[in-house]
């Protein structure tokens, strides 16, 4: 194994430190969302619907980084709480466009305030400029990761 193949000191690994921050952010979000009766996935769903009403289950799952099956559970629980509405039948195709109710919008506002406070606390050591640069740098890395995903070839029959 060459030196380039060895990860080495984990504290020097960008991916490892990024995972530490992600885990800390998730745990802190979980803590502030729990009193609101929300999970991080449920909050993500509400936030997405607040910004993009009418998203389908598939779109929500993709943007919230969960499976469609998991998103079905998230949507069902939020709907049972009266935080969102979904038609019983799709008007076109199979997608059921989802929208927040007034209670969902209110819960989203409260959750957003709590989550923004968590983000401010975690990223407080960085100036606004460094936060902006970090956000842009991470967005570039995310775009590169998507662009460089291997394309799977369809199987021969």
The Cα 51–Cα 105 span in angstroms is 11
Instruction: Please give the domain boundaries of the chain with CATH numbers for all domains.
Output: 29-87+96-147 (1.10.10.10)
Is 0.85 surpassed by the pTM of this model? no
The Cα 109–Cα 113 span in angstroms is 6
The Cα 132–Cα 38 span in angstroms is 28
Walk along the chain (157 residues) and give the pLDDT tens digit of each residue.
555 565 677 777 888 999 999 999 999 999 999 999 999 999 999 999 999 998 988 999 999 999 999 999 999 999 999 999 987 766 666 666 789 999 999 999 999 999 999 999 999 999 999 999 999 999 999 999 888 776 555 554 4
The Cα 61–Cα 32 span in angstroms is 22
């Amino acid at each position: 194994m060459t030196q380039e193949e060895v990860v080495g000191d984990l504290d020097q690994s960008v991916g490892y430190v990024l995972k530490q921050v992600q885990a800390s952010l998730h745990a802190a979000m979980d803590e502030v969302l729990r009193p609101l009766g929300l999970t991080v996935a449920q909050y993500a769903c509400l936030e997405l619907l607040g910004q993009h009403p009418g998203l389908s289950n598939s779109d929500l799952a993709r943007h919230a980084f969960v499976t469609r099956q998991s998103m079905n559970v998230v949507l069902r629980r939020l709907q049972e709480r009266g935080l969102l509405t979904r038609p019983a039948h799709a008007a076109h195709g199979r997608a059921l466009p989802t929208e927040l109710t007034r209670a969902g919008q209110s819960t989203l506002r409260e959750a957003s305030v709590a989550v923004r406070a968590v983000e401010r606390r975690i990223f407080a050591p960085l100036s606004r400029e460094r936060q902006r640069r970090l956000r842009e740098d991470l967005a570039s890395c995310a775009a590169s990761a998507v662009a460089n995903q291997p394309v799977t070839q369809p199987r021969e029959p």
